[in-house]
Each structure stands twice: as structure tokens, then as C-alpha cells.
Structure 1
Amino acid sequence: MFRIWSSRAFPARSSRQRFVVLVHPKASLSTGGAYSIPKPYNEPNKQYAANSPERAALDGALSDLKSKLPLQTPRWSHGQVNSWEGKTASVPVPSKHTQSFSDYPCLTATDVTHAIEDALAAKEAWQDMPFTYRAAIFLRAAELITTKYRYEITAATMLGQGKNAWQAEIDAAAELADFFRFNVAIAQKIYEKQPTLGTPGHHTRNDYRPLEGFVYAISPFNFTAIGGNLVSVPAIMGNVVLWKPSPSNVYASSIVYRILLEAGLPPNVVQFLTGDAELITNTIFEHCDFAALHFTGSSNVFRSLFAKAAQGVVTHTFREYPRMVGETSGKNFHLVHSSADISSAVRHTIRAAFEYAGQKCSACSRLYLPQSRAQAFLNVMKEEMQLVTVGQPEDYSAFLGPVINQQSFQKISQAIDEANKDPDIECVIGGTYDGSEGYFIQPTMYVARKPDHWLFNRELFGPVLGVYIYPDDHFEELLTDIDQQGGGLALTGAIFARDQRIVELAERKLRYAAGNLYVNCKTTAALIGQQTFGGSRSSGTNDKAGSENLLMRFVSPRTLKEEFGPLDTVLYPSNSRR
């Protein structure tokens, strides 16, 4: 007779009868082999052409969100939305900063401590759940993103982060779904990595254990998809996660969290934290069960978090050495050779430097042109830029919108003021800004007379491009300059050339200058499942989003060896006297 742990009742043939299934909490289906996860694929982008059904649906979602401004980012507890009577904060609409976009709760240190306790209480059941069931949650979430929630999350990303429809679609719908699908597939590959060589009578296995404590995920404003990746990578591997999104992306991130809960994520596996970043981080870094940081943001912030974690290691605060995983800043380059297709290089450069107002960690911000082709490049650039407009994100004709907030606007506009007065550079495009209604900065390009100008080393994270025109016969020497410039950052780069010998030379000489190097393609071109992404030096730990590398950082492997027969003797054959 079974012990009754729980029961689920189903109607039988007679209305008076009930069939009861007795289920142990840790029961799992018995199968003759392992389950196989569906093959992942890249979500096709909606085009949003004029008069298309998807444009009409997106317009409806935009109108609906605008009618509810300011949107309320909820406080979740145990998977439920709780009323909030404490301190709140708000973020403005970047394209119309007098309008508040979202209000969100500011948690106290006690709230954060309770969130840690709730996550740890959920940990055992989550890590013991068979992988195929954990995987199903994220695959279901991908379907919800690309169907039921597609236009809502795209509209929220447009209004809250200043993206146009194309950029928001790529990010919040397609790339977010790609992360969930491919991370699940990558996890299965890891679990399938088992020893194939063994001694007769022995069996060896690999156990990919989740980390013993909890993971702290900090996501940036610029990609809704990144938050989903930072959370899904450790959670898929059986970890519990405390997630603090950027305030400038808090509402779109809350939709991601809502989708995960609807997809079946157990309530306390991921904790959604909002409020003062320093308070939240200090509380987390004081806890002995802090096991890993999964971070995307600025290099300076990552350095400070690294130092804080190191201090905790010194003082024996943590049970184990925390894993520090970060993808940070970039000062990325396009290098054009005299053999390049100039028109194509120009178009790639405009997209890489100015799409989403240059607010991608992979955006191109330094450009190197050969003297023999420079004028032709600049002429085509000026012609193409006549088609590029700055405007409201919901204006489908606008190529780029505002920068994210007042702090960013001030940083970039002050740099433009400094550059406009600098006798060592010449402004050839843009050089103006307007913050009266929204945080708008015109796409700007300066030509510098020297290759060591500050434009080639200072990260601005906006639509500002520095150009150096080099003598054609100094190409190889220039490669050394490019490698040494960039403010110590090494995220992305691109070489444009038809001469394959030049491509080979650049790839070899710039081997450590970029974690992602593109040939005849812009620096913002990584696609989940096709190009893993990440940089080294001061651009991060280069664990490569979209790779086994990254998921392995959130497991602690255990090796198990079993012998099937007894040991018959203590002595070795060599101990024999005959």
C-alpha cells in the first residue's frame, strides 16, 4: 500500500467514483533512456512594414501602455503580487522625460534578506527536479514571449528604453526567446558529457551539481533579453537566483519575470529585487551563501563588485569562492583597408555606431580609414546619413531615439561640447543635442588628427564616433595602435577588406584586441546559437554568452566512480618475490 503524500483526483466513469493517484514529492517517470530536448532555432524577426498585421498589433500595445502611464512595477513575494506601502522610485520616459514611465518598490535590507531565505528554501526541490521538467519551463516561456506577450514586451522596451520597433523586436522578442531555447539545448549537451573510457569492472559518472548557495544576477538597461539570459543560465542548471534589473529596464524585466512564473517556474526560484542597488548588493554580499555573480554592465561597476567579493573572501564571509562572471564595457573598432567595399563598410558602420543611439556594449565608437579611400568613405557616409533620423521610438521612420537617462545625456553632451572646442579634431557629422523634451543626441562623427586622441579611449556609450585617417603604408603599424587603444577594453572589432592576406594579418595581430572579431561585417552582429559573445581585458571575463563555457560557470562538477567487484588482495604483482 502506498503512503499518501499528495493526491490528484480525476473523474471516473461514474460520477460517484473518484480515481486517486498517489504521488511522492520526488517521484519521477522511469524511462529506458534520457529525454531529448527539441532542437533550438532562431526566432524569425517580425518586419513591422507599413499596413502589416504586426504593426497594427504593436500600435495597439503601445497605445495600451501609454494609457496606463506611469506603469506600476509590482512587488512579488512567493510568486504573488503583493501590495506595497513602502518607499517607491520612478523612471522617466527617455523620449519625453517629463512623463514618468514606471514606478517601482524600493526594498529594504530586511526584504532582501527574506528573499535570500525564500530562494534557499526553494533550492533543494528545484535542483532535484529532473532536467527535462526544468527545461520545459523555459521552452514554454519562449513560446509565451513570441506569441501572447510579444507586442506587450516589445512596446514596453520601446517606451521604457527608447528603442525603435526593429531594435525592440530583435531584443525583447527574438533574442530573449533564443536565449531560453539555446540555453536549454546547451545544458543538455553539458549533462550528456560523460566519461567514455573505463577499466573493466568500473563505472565513472559526472554529476553537474548546481552551486551550493545562490546566484546574484544584475542586468543592464539596454537589452531586455540580457536579463532573461542572466537569470536563465544559472536557473536552468538548478540554481536559485536573486535578480536585480536596472531601474531603466525594470518594467520590461518585470514582464519577463511574469512570463517565467506563468510558464511554471516555482515561485521562489527567482527573486525579483528592485530598489537601491548599493543596499541590495551590500545585503547580498554579507550572506555566507552568496555563490556567484552574473553581471552585465559597466567595467567600473564590475570592478567594484569584484573588489567587494574579494574582501568577503579575505574575511571568510562566504562558504566558497564566489564565481564572478561579467560582460562589461566596449570601445569597439571598425578597421577599413584600401581593398574594402566602401559602400558596404559605410552602411555597416552607420548601423554599428548609431543604431539604438550607440547604447550597445558592442557598438562601434572608433573607426580607422585608409588615406587613399577616406574621402570616398566620408562622402558616402554623409550621403547615407541624410536618411538617418532621430525621433520618438514609436515613430517608425526614426532610425534612432533618445539615450536612456539624464546622467547619460549629460555625460555625452559634455563630451560633445569638449570635442567641439578641440582644435585637434573636426566634426564632420552632427555635434548637436537637444534635451528639452527627451534625451536626444544627434549622430556625431569627429575626425582626429592623432591616433591617440581621447576619442579612441574614453567610452561614451552614445552615438559618437571617432575617426582616424591613416597612411596606407602604415597599415601594419596601425594594428599595434588599435590593439593598444580602446581604454583597455577588448569586446568587439571588425576588419573590412577584400584582400584575404590583409584579413589574415589583422586576425593575427588583433588576436587579443576583441573577443568577437568580424570580417566585412559590423561589430553588433552576434546571433544566439551562431556567434557566442564576450570580451576580455577590461571588457569582462569572456565566458561567452550562448556557450557551454558560460553555463559551466554555474555548476560544480562531481565525479563518481563505482567498482562492481571486490578487491581480492592488498599486494601488487610487483610485490612478488619470484
Structure 2
Amino acid sequence: MKPYSPEPLTDFSNPVEAARLDEALRSVEAQLGRHYPLRIGSAILHREATITSYNPSNKEEIIGKVSKADRSLADKAIRSAAGAYKTWSRVPAEQRSEYLLKAAASLRKRKHEFNAWLMLEAGKSRVEADADTAEAIDFLEYYARQMIELAGRGRKELVSIPQEHNELHYIPLGVGVIIPPWNFPLAIMAGMTMAAVVAGNTVVLKPSSQTPVIAAKFVELAADSGLPPGVINLVPGSGSEIGDYLVDHPQTRFVSFTGSREVGIRIYERSAKVAPGQIWLKRFVGEMGGKDCILVDQDADLEEAARGIVASAFGYSGQKCSACSRAIIHQDVYDQVLSRCVELTNELKVGDVRDASCYTGPVIDQASFDKIMEYIEIGRQEGRIVAGGRALTLPGYFIEPTIIADAAPDSRIMQEEIFGPVVAFTACSDLEQGLAIANMTDYGLTGSFYSNNREHIARVKSEFHAGNLYINRKCTGAIVGVHPFGGFNMSGTDSKAGGPDYLFLFTQPKLISELL
């Protein structure tokens, strides 16, 4: 097996690649409005009850309709996964890994097709969509290799003693419930699902109701790659109708969740309760957002810092848990950095992502649109809007990239997660105050520090409390295997997706000691 290396991103300045994407868009547009089934075991179930997915760039355009599960079908999915677990858990790790490698190869061949789905259902620009698809491929490739390595650790890690043979085996947990987010509906969904699967577990996948078609397409791809029935069971549905039921189910062994803080806390609490008939403590793996910042020193490369802030704040309209929503700038260079960020932001074009000239597209839906606009109004009261601040009169959910200057460190706009194209600026008098402001949040996911002062860099490495800390680069864009991703405090369980420890979360160590 060749060594893992990250999937290269597509160069859309190449006319050939641009033409291939345009062809994929036309092909996907011809499929809009189709009905996608549930997948429970070997059964493919079409139901009249559906979740309708809309294009956020054009809220009247239906992407597709996905069959919606009720509690009886959710129960059937859990039991199907439990039945499949009996055989799947005994499949050798090398063979389980092969399924991921096959799925990665298939996804690589269909990269532009999935890019097109991401553009239309999730509102991603072609560049952001391509990065999402590449990351999904990376997760499959990386976790396949990590599983093979993990399976072999029992033969080389333990201390030897005379007359005994000792091995530590990492065995799967059981049935897992996978609840992925809408903002990386391919990469995070595939990574969460297939990490659990390659470790020998079986899963019930409840995709986001905003992006269920992409999940249906991926599960179909996994099945076409030969993955046995029942290993992945697809049950779209509402959190209130089936989400709590799946989490509470006594046969659920673990819950893997990525999403909002409020929902994550609720799931964490429910998963900690022992249901009648349950004989284990459920494991919770959670990633729950952030209030990330970029801290700029007075002797930093100010142009690079400004570009890093704008890219981190407004890529995918700020709808990333790693996005920069706070910029903390040394007072001596505050005006200069702010001015340059305003210039760069005003150059950004917002619109339908099928237009290659658009830097970013819509926010995901009406609820997000309303929430973000409310925060912009709060920003008007708590600071000074110097760029953006308005909704655009287009058919989708479009909001201008917005910069709010002179915000107080403890203001709502500096403390609460917005999840949209809004970044607040504040000044600091020195590094000590800057670090205090950076750490003045309930979260601890990502952060960046721009400086040419090695002493300051050393201090920031020690004192900046974030799971992913970047020096002299933007705070978004973690690469699988390169930047294991996860955060502190209310950002979740610091699970480090795409890292060498991630698969341990879906296994339990079993020692076998034999007297010779």
C-alpha cells in the first residue's frame, strides 16, 4: 500500500478542469428533484414522508427529496446495525480498510460530480466544494492506513516477560449513531462514518436535514464499493422525532456528533444516561463549534495577516467552526490592518456559486440568515460596521461579508458564535492583553498568531488555549494527517479528526495474556 499523501486540489484556472466541472454541474442539474430512499440493512425504502432539500443560492429550487424515518424505522436501523455487527466486527482490519480505499478511488473518479452536489445543496463555491471532496478522499485514505497500523500494535507495544505471551488488541465498540453537520456534508460526514466503520463498528447515519442528498449519494457510493448491507444504515429524520431516540437507544454503544454547542450538550447529557437493558457506558465524541480569533503582533507581516483574516472569516461565508470571527490587533497597527481588511473584503463578490467569479455564496437557510442578520444588528450597537452589513436582494440567502470594528472584548459579538460572514475587530495594548482577550471565550478550537518575534511566538505557543493553533497562517484549512482537528472547552471532546489517535475513540483495548 502506497503511503498516504493529501489529495491535491483542483486548479480551476485550467480550462480543462473548469469545463469538467461545468459538465458535472449540467449532469447534476438534470437530476434535481429526485427522491432518495432510506437504507436499512439490505432494504431500500421509499416513503411518502420526506425531507425536501433546497438550493440555498435559489431557495425555490429543489435539490431532492429524501425519505424520512420515523421511530419504528430508527429502531429497525439500530437492530439492523446490531445484526451486521456480529459479522462485520470479525472482518480483518486489512479487509475493512480495502473498502475505504475502494470508496476513495470511486470518489476520486467522481470528484467533480460531488463538487457539483456540494455547490448546489450546500452553497459552496467551486473552490470550497473541491476542498470538501478532497478532504473526504483524504479521510478515507488516511483512516484505512491508520486501521492497519492500529491492528498491528498489539504485537509490538507491550513489555515482554518470561513464559508469557501478551497482546493488546483494539476491538470495536458496537453500534454507533453518526450525526454530522451540514457545513461539511461530505468530508465530515464521510470521515465520521467511515472512521467508525473501518474500526469494525456498524452505524446508523442521521444526516443533516439541510444536506441529506449528499449523504444519500455517499452511502450509495459506499454500497457500490462493496460495503456489506447493514454496516451503514441511512435514516434521515428530525432530531425531535428520531435523534433523541437513536441516542437513548440501549443498543447504541457510542454517539459521534458534529454541530452546535446547544445540541452537542443535549446529546452528551442524554448519552450519559443508562437506559433499561443497557450494559455499557456510551461513548460521546463531539465537536461543537468555536469563537476563533486571529491575533496580530505589531511587528507581523501585516499584508499576510490581513489576507489571513479575510480568508478565514469569509471563506464559505464564515460557516466553519474554524472560521475567524474575532480579530485582535495590536493598537500600533490596528488601523492599518483594519483598513487593509476592509479593502480586501470590499473586493469579494457574493452570489450564486455556479458563477465562477463569486468568491463566496449564500448562507445555508432562512434560520441561519435570520440569526446572522440579528447579530449584525447587535454589531451596530456594540461596534462600528466598516464593511458589509447588508443582505443582498438575490434569490437565495445572501449576506455581505461584514466587518465590525472597535468591539469590546466582552461584547456579544466577540463572545457568541455567529456562524456567518461576520468578523469583529478589537485592539490590544500588548501581547499579554492580546492573549487574555484570545482566551476570553467559552470555546477553544482554532486560533492564529501573526508575528516575527520569536519570543512572542514561544509565549503564544504555550499560552494560547486552542486545539489547533497556527503561526503566521490563517486559522482555517486543516489537512487530514497534517493538522489533526479538534478543540478545547465548549468546542468539544478534542477528538482530533484526521489524526493518529482518532480511531482509538471507536475501539476498546483488550489484553490477551497466555502462559506458555
Provide the C-alpha distance between the structure 1 equivalents of 2:211 and 2:377, rounded to a whole number of angstroms. 29
1:104–1:275 CA contact under 8 A, matched in 2:
no
Matched, 1:497 2:459: no
> Which residue of the other structure, out of 104, 111, 114, is the alignment partner of 1:150?
111
Q: Name 1:276's counterpart in structure 2.
A: 238
Matched, 1:480 2:436: yes
What SS class does the counterpart of residue 218 from structure 2 fall into?
helix
Change beyond 3 A, Cα 1:540–1:132? same
Q: How far does the alpha carbon of each residue in 1:344-374 deviate from its partner, in whole angstroms, 9 at most, with x for none?
A: 1111111100000000110000001112112
Q: Name 2:512's counterpart in structure 1.
A: 560
Provide the C-alpha distance between the structure 1 equivalents of 2:390 and 2:115, rounded to a whole number of angstroms. 29
Question: Which segment drifts farther, 343-352 or 53-62?
Answer: 53-62
Q: Name 1:49's counterpart in structure 2.
A: 13
- Runs of 5+ unmatched residues, structure 2: none
Matches within 5 A, 1:358-397: 358-397=318-357
> Which residue of the other structure, out of 471, 478, 497, is the alignment partner of 1:519?
471
- Runs of 5+ unmatched residues, structure 1: 1-36, 565-578
1:240–1:269 CA contact under 8 A, matched in 2:
yes
Matches within 5 A, 1:197-212: 197-211=159-173
1:490–1:515 CA contact under 8 A, matched in 2:
yes
TM-score by length of 1: 0.86
Provide the C-alpha distance between the structure 2 equivalents of 1:169 and 1:239, rounded to a whole number of angstroms. 29
Provide the C-alpha distance between the structure 2 equivalents of 1:388 and 1:481, rounded to a whole number of angstroms. 28
Q: Name 1:357's counterpart in structure 2.
A: 317
> Which residue of the other structure, out of 244, 266, 282, is the alignment partner of 2:206?
244
* CA displacement at 1:255 relative to structure 2: 1.4
* CA displacement at 1:434 relative to structure 2: 2.6
* CA displacement at 1:317 relative to structure 2: 4.9
Change beyond 3 A, Cα 1:409–1:111? same
Q: Name 2:420's counterpart in structure 1.
A: 462
1:48–1:55 CA contact under 8 A, matched in 2:
yes
What SS class does the counterpart of residue 32 from structure 2 fall into?
coil
1:187–1:548 CA contact under 8 A, matched in 2:
no
Change beyond 3 A, Cα 1:249–1:449? closer
2:125–2:353 CA contact under 8 A, matched in 1:
yes
Matched, 1:179 2:139: yes
What SS class does the counterpart of residue 13 from structure 2 fall into?
coil
Q: Name 2:36's counterpart in structure 1.
A: 73
* CA displacement at 1:80 relative to structure 2: 5.3
2:47–2:68 CA contact under 8 A, matched in 1:
no
Q: How far does the alpha carbon of each residue in 1:364-421 deviate from its partner, in whole angstroms, 9 at most, with x for none?
A: 000011121122212322332243110111111111100000000000011112322x
TM-score by length of 2: 0.96
Q: Name 1:439's counterpart in structure 2.
A: 397
What SS class does the counterpart of residue 124 from structure 1 fall into?
helix
Provide the C-alpha distance between the structure 1 equivalents of 2:163 and 2:78, rounded to a whole number of angstroms. 45
Equivalent residue letter for 1:398: C
Matched, 1:305 2:267: yes
RMSD: 1.5
Provide the C-alpha distance between the structure 1 equivalents of 2:421 and 2:363, rounded to a whole number of angstroms. 9
Equivalent residue letter for 2:487: G
Provide the C-alpha distance between the structure 1 equivalents of 2:417 and 2:249, rounded to a whole number of angstroms. 34
Provide the C-alpha distance between the structure 1 equivalents of 2:36 and 2:450, rounded to a whole number of angstroms. 45
Equivalent residue letter for 2:432: E
* CA displacement at 1:439 relative to structure 2: 0.3
Provide the C-alpha distance between the structure 1 equivalents of 2:291 and 2:346, rounded to a whole number of angstroms. 26
Matches within 5 A, 1:48-447: 48-49=12-13, 52-79=15-42, 81-82=44-45, 84-147=46-109, 149-172=110-133, 174-194=134-154, 195-211=157-173, 213-223=174-184, 224-310=186-272, 312-313=273-274, 315-420=275-380, 422=381, 424-434=382-392, 436-447=394-405
Q: How far does the alpha carbon of each residue in 1:115-171 deviate from its partner, in whole angstroms, 9 at most, with x for none?
A: 111111111211111111111100011010111x21211100000000010100010
1:480–1:509 CA contact under 8 A, matched in 2:
no
Equivalent residue letter for 1:75: L
Provide the C-alpha distance between the structure 2 equivalents of 1:135 and 1:479, rounded to a whole number of angstroms. 43
Equivalent residue letter for 1:266: P
The structure whose Rg is larger is 1
Provide the C-alpha distance between the structure 1 equivalents of 2:249 and 2:383, rounded to a whole number of angstroms. 50
Equivalent residue letter for 1:170: A
Equivalent residue letter for 2:68: C
Q: How far does the alpha carbon of each residue in 1:515-556 deviate from its partner, in whole angstroms, 9 at most, with x for none?
A: 000000111031101110000100000010012322111111
1:287–1:317 CA contact under 8 A, matched in 2:
no
What SS class does the counterpart of residue 441 from structure 1 fall into?
coil
1:65–1:71 CA contact under 8 A, matched in 2:
no
Identity among equivalent pairs (%): 30
Equivalent residue letter for 1:356: Y
Provide the C-alpha distance between the structure 1 equivalents of 2:298 and 2:245, rounded to a whole number of angstroms. 55
